[in-house]
Chains A and B, each alone.
Chain A
């Protein structure tokens, strides 16, 4: 490629780079701020803002947040919910996608329509809540795992993937006399690792970051996932009194609660932010396949 750039072109390219750098800074600076602030000494942060002097730093926020039982429990719950949800979602979507990709399945377009309607129309919050309640799922872990497990996007994703698997593979196995189930389990499934991975990642991240279902279905604090615990710390300003000893004055408490917030953000977001660059390829794949329909 030998594109000759005129002077105007080079000016535009320079402008382009400037704006891109600005965009990156706008995304990154708040995150960097939070990370640095989380390591600050509480009173320095409150009175002078950020400081790059090592003597002004402390691990107080992390000590408090990591010794908070609600936070630890929330972390454990979130890992469990997200994993269970990912496993269920993957199984349901892979099976449905496989069936819907097979031309021998009669009534495919009817089933697809049935699924697609749910994308644009739903019964609404209260009827869904009443259903979950009547099924006896309220205040059980199933309430956050089962109702959301079937998702039309995931089914479309996996159907698209299986449509790309050469038909000859299935047919060849069929000639050998293998049963449909055997073909699926021993021929198709081993080829499906990428799609399983994509679906699992999306489901895991989605569940990890959500709070709404848990908020409406789970009253019992011992079942609360991380995001609900974070909500009470970050937004409702309910710093667990056990994190701050009673003798401390109000001002001290306010200072500490700020630091605890920063530390809580870092601790809760770091796992995903560290993990995601390694899986970026798969996440992007998910977006692309989904858009092809």
Chain B
């Protein structure tokens, strides 16, 4: 007798829960409807390729399709790691990105600290307007300008001809590639990247500076002890994000800047993936190289986040 009552009781709860879920969905289905387009697009176009990446472990043949192709394990990865150009391409990617980070990271911070000293608001605003402008110029145009400016007969060589007899072949010599890439990156992006620091600095209470001034602190000391600590958390986050993207350095610009002769330094993993994959049609091998790159990237992100967290008193990205 007692037993059956208990069962009844349980049944009731189950029914109530079900109707709760139903009620909930009936009441709030609109929210899920709103989420649906983004969710579906993400599943198809972001998670779909993640699933498709298993062709990296297969001997892919277009006729058999992704599922039907033969499983070859890590063969494609071994092929890349043991290929003669692996070291070059890997180091090119790492160096381009790392040097870019080291040279490029401080520039927006310096610009922001400098802009922060401009007293007249109108002047400051106009300077910002000019410094941000290159951010709106496309990669194609930026690289196009590089080719024009740095050509043997271009304006830079015309300037240099005062000192040297031979024009410098900037775009075709491997030793200049990284410099040109990184410096032009700073030209396009540094102003824009300073926005976030400028805004943080604008929120510093002027009283802090007044008090420090009364205490006899000079300008540099005030920048060091008031301005810099203000933007330090932002610096940490920007740095982690940049470091986490070290291996996912942009394909677009490097590919455009490549010439027949600068490849010894200009070939990086993304451009290599494009060439063997979409130009030569070796889908499986190219996917393996791309996947290898993504995994390294995730490892880097986690490591850098860990280190910055340690150095930055527990403040990391996550």
Contacts and interface: CB of A to CB of B under 8 A. Distances in A.
Interface of A: 1-6, 8-9, 12-13, 16-17, 19-20, 23-24, 26-28, 30-31, 33-34, 46, 49, 91-93, 95-96, 98-100, 102, 104-106, 111, 114-115, 118, 120-131, 146-147, 149-150, 155, 179-181, 184, 205, 208-212, 216, 227, 230-231, 233-235, 258, 261-262, 264-265, 268-269, 272-273, 276-277, 280, 283-284, 287-288, 291
A209 B140 CA distance: 8
Band of interface residues on B: 35 or more
Contacts of A283: 132
B155 to A, nearest CB: 7
Contact of A129 (B50, B147, B278): B278
A150 B38 contact: yes
Most buried by A among B35, B53, B130, B153: B35
Contact of A20 (B44, B118, B195): B118
B251 A265 contact: no
A102 B31 contact: yes
B137 A211 contact: no
B39 A235 contact: no
A93 B127 CA distance: 33
B148 A261 contact: yes
Nearest to B134: A27
B50 A127 contact: yes
Given A27-B134, A99-B34, A277-B129, A131 B140 contact: no
A155 B55 CA distance: 30
B218 A234 contact: no
A96 B137 contact: no
Contact of A284 (B143, B195, B220): B195
A227 B49 contact: no
25 contacts: A3-B209, A4-B213, A93-B38, A95-B37, A95-B38, A96-B35, A114-B39, A118-B42, A122-B46, A123-B48, A123-B50, A124-B291, A126-B278, A127-B50, A150-B41, A180-B28, A184-B30, A210-B139, A227-B138, A234-B140, A234-B144, A258-B148, A265-B145, A276-B132, A284-B195
Interface of B: 24, 28, 30-32, 34-35, 37-39, 41-42, 44-53, 55, 66, 111, 114-115, 117-118, 127-134, 136-141, 143-145, 147-149, 153, 155, 158, 187, 191-192, 195-196, 199, 206, 209-210, 213, 218-220, 234, 237, 244, 251-252, 256, 270, 273-274, 277-278, 283, 286-287, 290-291, 293-294, 297-298, 301
B53 A123 contact: yes
By CB atoms of chain A within 10 A, which of B147, B158, B277 has the most? B277
Nearest to A233: B144
Contacts of B252: 210-212
Given A49-B155, A122-B294, A288-B196, A24 B130 contact: yes
Given A227-B140, A258-B148, A31 B133 contact: yes
A121 to B, nearest CB: 6
Contact of A124 (B49, B117, B256): B49
Given A3-B213, A105-B28, A30 B52 contact: no
A277 B92 CA distance: 37
Which DSSP category, helix, strand, loop or mixed, fits chain B's interface? Answer: helix
Given A230-B144, A269-B137, 11 more contacts: A2-B210, A6-B218, A34-B148, A96-B37, A106-B24, A115-B38, A123-B52, A124-B49, A126-B278, A127-B53, A211-B140
A235 B53 contact: no
A23 B138 contact: no
A288 B195 contact: yes
B138 A150 contact: no
A8 B219 contact: yes
Contacts of B270: 125
A112 B195 CA distance: 27
Given A1-B210, A262-B148, A125 B220 contact: no
B31 A104 contact: yes
A155 to B, nearest CB: 6
A114 B50 contact: no
A93 B39 CA distance: 10
A265 B277 contact: no
A98 B114 contact: no
A98 B82 CA distance: 49
B35 A122 contact: no
B42 A150 contact: yes
B38 A92 contact: yes
Nearest to A227: B140
A268 B8 CA distance: 74
Given A1-B206, A120-B301, A124-B290, A231 B153 contact: no
Closest 10 A/B residue pairs (Cβ): A123-B49, A234-B144, A124-B290, A127-B52, A96-B38, A209-B138, A180-B30, A127-B49, A99-B34, A99-B35
Nearest to B198: A284
Contacts of B117: 13, 16
Contacts of A20: 114-115, 118, 127
B34 A98 contact: yes
Contacts of A28: 130, 133
A126 B137 contact: no
Contact of A231 (B129, B256, B283): B256
Contacts of A210: 138-139, 252
A111 B52 CA distance: 22
A19 B45 contact: no
A99 to B, nearest CB: 4
